[in-house]
């Protein structure tokens, strides 16, 4: 399962969501506008920064939209 922590209006989150849509990936989106979700993100990743991807199947977690997009293409693209 892919979990993506996001914030409404975040252009970097939109970039990751667009890459996911292009690749046909569905995320379990968690919006940090909810204080409980923000606390969950901080406990998980150490900081309140989005986007933050969790790939539970591959035991991968990462910040940075460019890194996430590259990971998605590598792991779920046509040549993966």
pLDDT at 80: 58
pLDDT in tens, 5-58: 999 999 999 999 999 999 999 999 999 999 999 999 999 999 999 999 999 999
How many of the other CB atoms lie within 10 Å of CB of 20?
A: 20
Which residues, in sequence order, are CB contacts of 22 under 8 Å at separation 6+?
Answer: none
Domain range for 57 is 2-76
How many of the other CB atoms lie within 10 Å of CB of 13?
A: 22
Any idea what the CATH number is for the domain that residue 65 is in? 3.40.30.10
Task: Please give the span between the terminal C-alpha atoms of the chain, in angstroms, as a whole number.
Answer: 17
Q: How far apart are CA 73 and CA 36, in angstroms?
A: 30
Q: How many domains does the chain have?
A: 1
pLDDT at 29: 98
């Amino acid at each position: 399962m892919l979990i993506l922590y996001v914030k409404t209006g975040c252009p970097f989150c939109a970039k990751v969501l667009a890459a996911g849509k292009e690749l046909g990936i569905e995320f379990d989106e968690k919006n940090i506008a909810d204080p409980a979700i923000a606390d969950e993100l901080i406990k998980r990743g150490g900081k309140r920064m989005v986007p933050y991807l969790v790939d539970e199947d591959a035991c991968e977690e990462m910040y940075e939209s460019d890194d996430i997009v590259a990971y998605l293409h590598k792991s779920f693209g046509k040549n993966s």
